[in-house]
Structures are given as structure tokens and as C-alpha cells.
Structure 1
Amino acid sequence: MAVPPQLKAIQHHLRTAQEHEQRDPVVAYYCRLYAMQTGMKLDSKTPECRKFLVKLMDQLESMKDDLADNESISQEVVGNAHIENYALKMFLYADNEDRAGRFHKNMIKSFYSASLLLEVLSVFGELSEENIQHRKYARWKATYIHNCLKNGETPQAGPMGMDQDGEAGGTSLAESHTTFKGPPTTTNYNNIHIPPGAHAPANTPAEVLPPAAAVKPVPLPRSVPTVDPTLLVAQQQGGVQLSPEDFTKAQKFCKYAGSALQYEDVSTAIQNLQKALKLLTTGKE
């Protein structure tokens, strides 16, 4: 069933869902959930839109039944971590290719898909500032590199200027029209820097890896944050009761820490371990 013109904004999320139908049903489910929620806001009254959204709801209910035993569907915290991990894997792969000056369709699609999946995280609540920046940067990089290659120009590798709205100038990648005339200048753009491996889990999805890719980012010099000594000696006082959700969140933080260590990102690992320790000792994030 074709996407009504009024709901054009969700067509790329639905396409991403279709691409992941067999590859990763959890990604497909949440892409469709995001599309449905967004579509309801865009137009739920026009007959053709209502019909389309009702069909989408039915599809979601069917998927939810099929995936009932999957914790990423039954527990939002686990689902959130699954989508975030997947998006950042794609981001990391594309970022590594970009920094190495290897510009190709696969890395452009990885940047763009990462930006779509980071948008999908909004089904779980407000996006973190970090994910907002990753989303803007990924969308902007995809558009910039796409337009450069279509113009026969060589893109500038690695982090560079981006405007305040996170746009590359020119038209969007989705529209595939090229009016971009070159890399942004420092006069008109602010600088944004995404460190390699920042919060990025290991094992980039196989579908976006080149055959011999085992690219490991070279970590930037960074200062290691001081561990809060009060957390190291903290005791559960006043009979702190932890809920199952608290344990799931603590597991998520530990998982992020382990992923960060795969990329020698000590700072991120410590931050997530501190969050887990604080949650387990105080019952608060």
C-alpha cells in the first residue's frame, strides 16, 4: 500500500522497516511504531491516511504477537538499548569510513539510516542531547557526501563545519537533487566534533561491513574522569528497594561500558559504570 502524500515524512522509516523485516525484526517493529506515531500527528483524519494508519496498526499488533517472547519488545528499556546500539553501530562504521576518506554509497546509506534510527528512539521518550547531535551530524554528513559525489567533487573527510540547524546546505539526500556547491565555510557554519567510538558498541552490522572490514578506530587523546569516591563506598541505606526495571537499566549501563572498552573509550566506560553503581546503591539515576 502506497504511502499517502500527506505522510511522506514517514516513508523512509517504513522503507527501513521493510529492509530489516528478516534481518532484525525488532528494528523493523520500532521503525513502524515511530512511523505510526508520527503519522497520527501528521494526518489521521483524511480517509486515505486513516486507512493507511489502521493497516499499519494491524501490522504492528501482528508483529507484537509474533515477537511476544522478545525482551526488546516486552521491555521498553531493552528495546531502547537495542535500537540505540544498532544505530550507533551504523554511525561508527560510516564515521570510520568517512575519516579514512573512503566515500561510497554504503557509507552514505549507513549515515542516513543511523539518523533515521536515532529519530526512532523518540518512541521511548525525549532524545538525549548526545543522540540529537549524532542524528543531526549523520543526516548532514549523508547529504553532504551524497551531493559532493553527485557533483563530481571530493568530500572533505572527517568532522567539519555544520550549520546551527544541522543542515549541509543544498537539498536533502531523500530528495536526491543536487544544488550543494561545496563544503561549508567556517564563516557560515559552527563546528561540531564527533569523537570516534563515542558510545559506539562493538560489532558493526554485517550488512554494512565491507568483506575485509575490521576497522578499529584510533581513540583520541582524552582525559580520564575522576571516579566519584562516594560511589565506591556507597552503601544501600534506608532499605533501598530496586525494581526489575532498575536492574535492567543497570545491565544496560554495564553493557554500554563493555562496548566502550571494546573501542578503548575509557571515559565512556567509566561514565556508564558510575551510572550503574549509583543506580544500584541509591536506587536513583
Structure 2
Amino acid sequence: MAKLPDELKFIKPFLVRSLEMETAMPLVSYYTHLYAVQLAMEYHKQNSKNQTVRQYVITLLNETEQKKAQLGEVQNPKDQFESFCTALFVKADTEDRKEGSTKLTAQTFLVTSYFIEAMRVFEELPPDWEEKRVYCKWKANDINKALKAGLVPQRGGPGEAQAENEQGEVQPEQGDKSLEKEYDDLSLPSPPTGFQSKGSTPSADFYPPPPPAQTRQPPPSPPSDFYPPPPAQTRLPPPSQPSGYDLPPPQPYTTPQPQNNPPPPSKPATIPSGVPKGQREIRAAIEKAKKEAQYAIQELEYKNVAPAIKNLQNALNILNEFQ
């Protein structure tokens, strides 16, 4: 790939994140790359005479088309991307609150903030996600400063560990810029346990709830004069959002029938094909409703009341269909 122009250095974190997820999560890689392209195109619109930027953006667009072709058609890309960000945030936050933060924890918070920001490729961030993005940037900077000073990083948010010390309103966007430079080229930790990539079945520990349906914004089209005239081929079309597959539903479980002799603890098993279709649907619905309820509890842990209510309503709606 061509060298990144100095004028576009601000998109480097997203290009690095995209490369990190290219194999493990192609969908996340594609849309993070697409967000970087959007940022570059916005810059080019305001600096259209810069030929270096122009040529680099053309290169990015070509790479975007290649990634799109490799990804294939998917369904609900926004839901899957949001689920990945949720899992990554929970991983970092849990490690910070229960195990204590390390340099790797700070890195995870920082890259999580980049992935959350990249969700803008679909639409503007809702308030709860913007709050998480700001928190992740502040947390990464706070951990890094504590470690450099030889201190134990404070767990949780500002003032949680020592409520008597009022810290005032934090300014996460004005943190230590050296932190971003330090972590720009570091590898992202492995995807959170329980989050599965394309083609695998989610574990019982993590099955993300679908967010409220919202209108998606298609990726921006390049200016009509953006590409140089091709020799004999049609102009490369602008990137568009793919559509096509869902995360596979969690496999329902059943317990084997009791035997005469006390059996050893039975393992969950998938519902056999002989079970009537109606029963399979009911059991699958119950599992899905349980997941929604679990996510409601998770949201309440972060004092996100509105999303928790939404999850509970989803659970009730699922169960009401079988009354």
C-alpha cells in the first residue's frame, strides 16, 4: 500500500485496527476501513487540489472494493459491529474493575474507542455509545498516566474508588496524545471470549441483542470528478454496505430422560430433529428471551436504563408470541 500522506495521519488508527481484524473479524475490518475512507474523502472535499491525498484515497477505494468482495453478502452488519464493540468494552471494563488494569488494559480501552467511533459509518453515535467512547479514551489515558507515575490505576470511573475526592468533570478528549502514538502500531488483543466470527455459533456467554431498528446512512459517494478517466473500463463504483447473513441463533438445549441408575451429570444437547417444529421454536424463543433479560441486567450495571427497558420489552415480546 502507498505511504500514508501526512495530511491523513488522523485516519491511521482506523487503518491499523482494520488490518488487525482482517482475519479474525472480516466484517469489522471492512467497516472500520470504510470509515477511514469516509474520513479521507471528507478531507479531500475540503482540499481537492492536493493530488497526493487524491491518489491515496483512490487507493483506499480500490482496497475497499476488494474487502467488500472478500466479505460477501451479509445481513445486519450494524448489529454485528455493535455487538463486537459491546463485547470489547465489557472485556476491558471487567478487567479494569475486577482484575486491575495493566498496559494491555489501557490499550484495549483505546482501541475500543476507535471501533466505537467507527460505528459512525452507519449513523451518528447515539448518546449511550458516545458516552462509552469518551469513557474509553479517558480510561486509557488515566491508566497510562498512573502506570508511568508508578501508581496503581484507579478502578472504574472517576471518583468511584474515592468518592470523597471530587474530581469534577473529566476532559477525556484532551488526554495524553503520546498514548495514541504509543499504541497505534500495537496489535489488538484477541476478540473477547464468547464473540464469534462469521460461520461459528455464539456461545451461551455472549449472544448480542439486536439494537433498535434505525435508518442506516449509506457510505458517501466520491465526487463525480474524483477518479481520473479510465482507459477502457467503467468507473469504480463507490463502496456500499453489503447485506446478507445473520449470526446463527444459539442452539437450544434439552436434558436427557432419567434412567434407572443415577446418571452422571448430563451435558446439554441440541434438540433432536424428531422434536416437533413448534416445540423447537418455543424452546429457541425462551433461550432468546433469557438472553435479552441478561443483557438488560448488563445494561443496568452501567446505569443504562433506556437500553435495559428495551431489552426487557424485547424479551416480553418474544414470549408473548407463544401465549
* TM-score using structure 1 length: 0.63
The CA distance in 2 between the partners of 1:256 and 1:128, in whole Å, is: 24
RMSD (Å), alpha carbons: 3.5
Which is greater in Rg?
2
Decide whether aligned partners of structure 1 residues 205 and 104 sit closer, same or farther in structure 2, where only a CA change above 3 A counts: farther
The CA distance in 2 between the partners of 1:31 and 1:139, in whole Å, is: 18
Query: 1:69 maps to which residue?
Result: 73
Identify which of 261, 269, 272 aligns with 2:294: 261
Query: 1:87 maps to which residue?
Result: 85
Shift in Å, 1:175: 3.2
Q: What SS class does the counterpart of residue 43 from structure 1 fall into?
A: helix
Decide whether aligned partners of structure 1 residues 262 and 104 sit closer, same or farther in structure 2, where only a CA change above 3 A counts: same
Counterparts of residues 113-132 of structure 1 (less than 5 Å): 113-132=111-130
Q: 1:94 touches 1:110 (CA, 8 Å); kept in 2?
A: yes
Identity %: 29
Alignment partner of 1:59 is 2:57: no
Query: 1:271 maps to which residue?
Result: 310
Counterparts of residues 198-217 of structure 1 (less than 5 Å): 203=193, 205=195
Counterparts of residues 99-248 of structure 1 (less than 5 Å): 99-160=97-158, 161=167, 163=169, 165-167=171-173, 169-176=175-182, 203=193, 205=195
Q: 1:16 touches 1:31 (CA, 8 Å); kept in 2?
A: yes
- Residue identity opposite 1:133 in structure 2: E
Q: 1:17 touches 1:32 (CA, 8 Å); kept in 2?
A: yes
The structure showing larger relative contact order (alpha-carbon pairs under 8 Å, at least 6 residues apart) is: 2
Decide whether aligned partners of structure 1 residues 134 and 260 sit closer, same or farther in structure 2, where only a CA change above 3 A counts: farther
- Residue identity opposite 2:291 in structure 1: G
Shift in Å, 1:204: 5.0
- Greater fraction helix: 1
Shift in Å, 1:261: 0.7
Q: 1:7 touches 1:49 (CA, 8 Å); kept in 2?
A: yes
Structure 1 runs not aligned, ≥5 long: 72-77, 178-201, 207-214, 217-244
Cα shift readout 1:206-263 (whole Å, capped 9, x = no counterpart): 9xxxxxxxx99xxxxxxxxxxxxxxxxxxxxxxxxxxxx9xx9xx9xx9798266168
* TM-score using structure 2 length: 0.56
Decide whether aligned partners of structure 1 residues 166 and 3 sit closer, same or farther in structure 2, where only a CA change above 3 A counts: same
Query: 1:180 maps to which residue?
Result: none
Query: 2:54 maps to which residue?
Result: 50
